Amino acid sequence: MDSSTSPLTSERIDVFWEEGMLKHYTGTGVFDTLTDPGFLEVLEKHPENSDRVKNMVSILKKGPISQYISWNAGRLALISELLTFHTQEYIDELMQADKDGGKILCEGTILNPGSWKASLFAAGTTLSAMKHILDGNGKIAYALVRPPGHHAQPSRADGYCFLNNAGLAVQLALNSGCKKVAVIDIDVHYGNGTAEGFYRSDNVLTISLHMNHGTWGPSHPQNGSVDELGEGEGYGFNLNIPLPNGTGDRGYEYAMHELVIPAVQKFEPDIMVLVVGQDSSAFDPNGRLCLTMEGYREIGRIVRKLADKHTVGRLLIVQEGGYHVTYAAYCLHATLEGALSLPLSLLSDPLAYYPEDEALAVKVVDSIKQCWKDNVLLFK
Ligand SMILES: [Zn+2]
């Protein structure tokens, strides 16, 4: 048994959660369009609905992982805290939208009565989780939050996100004396908001593994492509790993070993943030990548090992997307099993039955590695 599986290191995950986040109501319609042309008898909920998070809470309370979980309350963020990542103008826009009774900020992204308070809970709860680690009260904390945050840019809402929960937590770590923070984002979509917030900084290494979806309009001008490497001092500290459709457990594992582990090792962070979305699963309606529970478990194990090696085990995990109301909860369970470095899996996979062909993913990862060797300081 090596040190990373030693029972002396973190045996517990401190989960931060607040019920008020359920009160962000996103409505029903044709999937996430926020409209109902009237053709259907049965309308479905917007994919970013409270059911998905209720199931996440439930599986952590009732699943076999429950014995390793300690529950903590969240809180509302202060406006002054939001200004560490967002502009005053943008926060004013959100507060005005709340006062006016709601607003569609961009495609699929609606602020309804209750949404602003839920957003403040998501941001504040993530900050509480980060502070818990910074104060030395725990090694691994998980902020179970919604609305999600990683698409929210300093001055713009995007992709169901209003406030960048993870970005605010990173900024808190920096303001509390951390010199270097590494962010690994495994949501199926590009973590463009977090990337944008630290694009000119070499204190924050942002790595995003995502579906190669490109830009999706004015709220999301970034492509998430390999050549978006950061600017100025931040050049080489924003690493994008756009994976081909169909990439599954083995493709991800290859990317983690060839790209993510070497980058983080060279960077030597003081603290790590794992930004998780279960929309990279094989069954998610919003993604075309194919992770199963075992893939999530392995990513959890890898990140935990990196944290043990570089950050004395300090790891903040922040919830983002994940829209299959059953499988997202199961994949979350698996990710946290991995982060606990448990020798055996606690929960079997009820759904993983598609075969994986990783040849294309391996080819793409190899070409990204070559590009980084030519351009990225961490790979020289
Ligand atoms: Zn996503």
Q: Residues 132, 151, 189, 324: which is the catalytic one? A: 151
DSSP three-state, residue 309:
helix
CB 344 within 8 A of CB 294: no
Task: Quick: pLDDT tens for 162-201.
Answer: 999 999 999 999 999 999 999 999 999 999 999 999 999 9
Q: Tell me what pLDDT residue 10 has.
A: 62
Beta bridge partners, 106, equal 109
**Residue 198 falls within a domain, yes or no?**
yes
Looking from the CA of 345 toward its CB, the CA atoms found within 13 Å total: 16
CA distance 116 to 346: 37
Q: Is the pLDDT at 8 greater than 50, yes or no? A: no
Cα(13) to centroid(ligand 1), Å = 23
What length is written for the chain? 380
Distance 105 CA to ligand 1 centre (A): 17
Read off the pLDDT of residues 359-371 as tens digits, 9 standing for 90 and up: 999 999 999 999 9
pLDDT band (50, 70, 90) for residue 3? very low
CATH number for position 275: 3.40.800.20
C-alpha 323 – ligand 1 centre gap (Å): 9
For residue 302, the number of C-alpha atoms closer than 13 Å in the C-beta half-sphere is 23
Strand order in 238-243's β-sheet? 69-73, 13-17, 140-143, 315-319, 271-276, 181-185, 204-211, 238-243
The total of structural domains in the chain comes to 1
Distance separating alpha carbons of residues 200 and 48, to the nearest angstrom: 31
Cα(15)–Cα(304) distance, integer angstroms: 16
Q: What is the average per-residue pLDDT within 83-94?
A: 98
* Poorest-pLDDT segment among 15-19, 232-236, 351-355: 351-355
Note whether residue 44 is domain-resident. yes
CA–centroid distance, residue 149 to ligand 1 (Å) = 10
Say what the pLDDT of residue 343 is.
Answer: 87
Q: Whole-number mean pLDDT of the chain?
A: 96
Per the annotation, the verdict on 151 as an active-site residue is yes
The pLDDT score that the predictor gives to residue 231 is: 98
Residue 238 belongs to some domain of the structure: yes
Ligand 1 center–CA 150 separation, angstroms: 8
Arithmetic mean of pLDDT, 28-49: 96
Angle (nearest 5°) at CA 354 between 369 and 277: 55
Q: What is the CA(144)–ligand 1 centre distance, in A?
A: 15
Higher pLDDT, 54 or 2: 54
Cα of 359 vs centre of ligand 1, distance in Å, is 24
- Give CA–CA dist 237/204, Å, rounded: 7
User: Strand locations in the chain, DSSP E?
Assistant: 13-17, 28-29, 44-45, 69-73, 103-106, 109-111, 140-143, 181-185, 204-211, 238-243, 271-276, 315-319
What is the pTM for the complete model shown?
A: 0.97
| pLDDT above 70 coverage of the chain, percent | 97
Cα(255)–Cα(240) distance, integer angstroms = 11
The answer as to whether 353 is a domain residue is: no
Q: Is residue 1 part of a domain?
A: no
pLDDT digits (tens, 9 = 90+) for 251-291: 999 999 999 999 999 999 999 999 999 999 999 999 999 99
d(CA 112, ligand 1 centre) in Å: 21
Q: What is the Cα–Cα distance from 330 to 204, expressed in whole angstroms?
A: 30
pLDDT tens digit sequence for 122-165: 999 999 999 999 999 999 999 999 999 999 999 999 999 999 99
Q: Residue 339: is its pLDDT beyond 70?
A: yes
Taking 60 as the threshold, does the pLDDT of residue 2 lie above it? no
DSSP tag of 243: E
Distance 7 CA to ligand 1 centre (A): 33
Ligand 1 centroid vs 203 CA: distance in angstroms?
Answer: 25
Is 126 inside a domain boundary? Answer: yes
Residue 252, domain extent: 9-348+359-379
Is residue 354 assigned to a domain? no
